[in-house]
Chain A
């Protein structure tokens, strides 16, 4: 299953960045698919991007909300929030585990042999602050003389934007190298920090900073596809703790907002059939109890 998941992640990475004519056009894809929001974090200023980034699109709508309303355009972000909410209500953070290009890049980096460390648990709450502040409140509230705000998360933080858009654009349009300044180097440092951290810790950006992960995490108790725990079968052997890439203690908190439904606990850890997968309340696959019977 892990092998299938990795291939699925690679397929999503390629499909959301499928415009390979950019070395010749030296510009962005401008086709109709860009009306769709990417399920995961994928910068739409990436020259190869074929879909829009939901966080970028939402910030752009919110920062220009006053001007739009003054012009009689009721662009309040409903389309983007509707897209994000639709995916969240079905999959929750399963999107992070299966369909996020930047999450996949972090997983690949974590395969590099090195000493491995855990991510301190309290840092998980930071991403909710990033969602509230840099994606919603600051773009809405901090405005210039024309009533326009800034896309705070994209502009000052997003390492996916630097990796997928900032760096490629500098190579495609070398003239831009003359105008890079403190902002670029600070974002480049953030990118290097998270790439380096990903080698020694599992998915640090997803766990501490990603506003999209925070959004999907809000659906932890209200999503169609979810992992379930059968308390009667669970022996609290803690094997599910060891395989979880997000540091979830599944036997203690089965509805944890960090669970990306990668299914490692179901397929690689639990030998007692305590973990199952359900869709809309219907069990899709119960844990395989035969394994434990064979062993005993």
Chain B
């Protein structure tokens, strides 16, 4: 009789995703994306909030 393969614990997937998004975050930091985000968030885009 074939042995049933043990299922991986359900909490492995969130930890994998967590690691993936941390790496993505670090890549973003490496290419200096935060400075672009900061630059954008300091300026007010009037048309983006429905004015103009």
- Measured CB to CB, the residues of A under 8 A from B are 27-28, 30, 32, 34-35, 37, 43-45, 49, 52-53, 56-57, 60-61, 68, 73-86, 88-90, 151, 154-155, 161-162, 165-166, 169-170, 176, 179-180, 183-184, 186-188, 219, 221-224, 280-281
Contacts and interface: CB of A to CB of B under 8 A. Distances in A.
A80 to B, nearest CB: 7
Q: Which 9 A-B pairs have the closest CB atoms?
A: A79-B28, A82-B25, A85-B21, A281-B11, A78-B28, A82-B24, A79-B33, A187-B50, A89-B17
B47 to A, nearest CB: 6
Interface of B: 9-11, 13-15, 17-18, 20-29, 31-38, 40-52
B49 A161 contact: yes
Contacts of A53: 41
A81 B24 contact: yes
Contacts of A32: 38
Given A34-B41, A85-B20, A151-B45, A183 B50 contact: yes
Contact of A180 (B27, B28, B43, B51): B51
B14 A176 contact: no
B15 A280 contact: yes
Contact of B10 (A37, A188, A219, A281): A281
B28 A166 contact: no
Given A45-B45, A281-B10, 9 more contacts: A45-B49, A56-B40, A74-B31, A81-B21, A85-B20, A85-B24, A88-B21, A90-B18, A179-B51
A153 B37 CA distance: 17
Contacts of B51: 166, 169-170, 176, 179-180, 183-184
A35 B37 contact: yes
Nearest to A186: B50
Given A57-B37, A82-B26, A85-B20, A161 B48 contact: yes
A139 B14 CA distance: 29
Nearest to A57: B37
Contacts of B45: 45, 60, 151, 154
